[in-house]
Amino acid sequence: MGKEKIHINIVVIGHVDSGKSTTTGHLIYKCGGIDKRTIEKFEKEAQEMGKGSFKYAWVLDKLKAERERGITIDIALWKFETAKYYVTIIDAPGHRDFIKNMITGTSQSRFEEIKKEVSSYIKKIGYNPAAVAFVPISGWHGDNMLEHSEKMNWFKGWNVDRKEGKAEGRCLIEALDAILPPSRPTEKPLRLPLQSVEMHHEALQEAVPGDNVGFNVKNVSVKELRRGYVAGDSKNNPPKGAQDFLAQVIVLNHPGQISNGYTPVLDCHTAHIACKFAEIKEKCDRRTGKTTEENPKSIKSGDAAIVNLVPSKPMCVESFQEFPPLGRFAVRDMRQTVAVGVIKVRKEHHVMKKIVSVIPKDASTGKVTKAAEKAQKKK
């Protein structure tokens, strides 16, 4: 019997109408995740509505609508197989402010322009562009998805160079198989962020780190559970709420200055909580980590800093070194990601009960964002 394939999650990102759903739906279809009859049904419905180009997008969009109505769906439609992996698609709603429009054609010059732009962006947030595969594809026609397209003879293939070794190929499916699965720290105490609270029944023999699962909880009222809570083993280093934590923050795109008291929203694992920049302790070199300025009055786009952050209520987080998925976060303001960060040290708040907000009504030294006020009002 062959070795069981590893399960990985991938997310498709991009602005609204850039072709995310079309690309994903077409890829699922090509990899056998949905049958031809269903695609033909979607195509007929789309043409009747004057939206013939939507047939692949509806592979996902129809499922979204069904899920919202509470209808049981075949979860396999969200998955597909490559030669190496079982792949689960994680949906990321598009936003016009996320990245610039990247779909204007498949010309070589446009591809090189996009590659340069995205390389600059991912380098800014700490990734090495040399370790990223760039593949030009057509989400609608399927070019370069499973095999090299003759329509793009100018594209000689992608290659990546990383410490684990080099890889190369000519199409998207090969790039997916070249993904290196993250380490799965099964030896560490359990950490399981809650994403939603609902009724769900489906048998599963085993779940490993990286899987998206549901399970029934006994002797706990629904009123006591909230998105962003984290489950764990009460007898083995259980998760605890943090009253504040020290983090390294990189400002990506903020139109002004960020100073002490600034209160945006932090998205960390499944938590969405207002969080105050209580004290900007130092500016630092984002590559070496060396201090460049002590106690700066403010930070701006392009700066990296060590900041003491105080959530509006106990927030279950961990140091990035110990539990990476619970130790990285995005800072949201003005409906966009303005900064990213990793947690270095946290201070525990042992009792996970509702506490009085730590956000001052008059934050004279910084701005309390509307999103933070909204998140703070949620019980």
Distance CA 163, CA 128 (A): 11
**Helices within the chain (DSSP H only):** 20-30, 36-48, 57-68, 108-124, 172-177, 370-377
Please compute, for residue 285, the number of CA atoms within 13 A of its CA located in the half-sphere on the CB side.
6
In DSSP terms, which residues pair with 232 in a beta bridge?
Answer: none
Query: Per the domain annotation, does 155 fall within a domain?
Result: yes
- Residue whose C-alpha is closest to residue 212's, from 199, 232, 194: 194
Domain holding 327, by residue range, is 241-377
DSSP-derived pairing of the beta strands 265-268 and 328-333: antiparallel
Domain boundary among 177, 197, 217: 177
Whether the full predicted model's pTM is greater than 0.75, yes or no, is no
Burial class of residue 316 (count of CB atoms within 10 Å of its CB; 0-12, 13-18, 19+):
buried
Q: Per-residue pLDDT tens, the chain, 379 aa: give them.
A: 445 788 888 888 777 677 777 888 888 888 877 777 877 777 777 677 666 555 666 666 655 554 444 433 343 346 788 889 888 876 555 544 444 333 334 478 888 988 999 999 888 878 899 999 999 998 888 889 999 988 888 999 999 999 889 999 999 999 999 999 888 777 787 776 765 555 445 566 777 777 777 776 777 777 777 888 888 888 888 888 889 999 999 998 898 999 999 999 999 988 899 999 999 999 998 778 899 999 999 999 989 999 999 999 888 999 988 888 889 999 999 888 899 999 998 776 543 333 223 333 333 346 677 667 766 666 4
Distance CA 90, CA 24 (A): 10
Domain boundary among 153, 177, 201: 177
Query: Per the domain annotation, does 273 fall within a domain?
Result: yes
Distance CA 51, CA 36 (A): 19
Domain co-membership, 129 together with 264:
no
Domain co-membership, 169 together with 273:
no
**Token pair in block for residue 137:** 């594809």
Name 104's Cβ contacts closer than 8 Å, sequence gap at least 6: 110
CATH number for the domain spanning 66: value is: 3.40.50.300
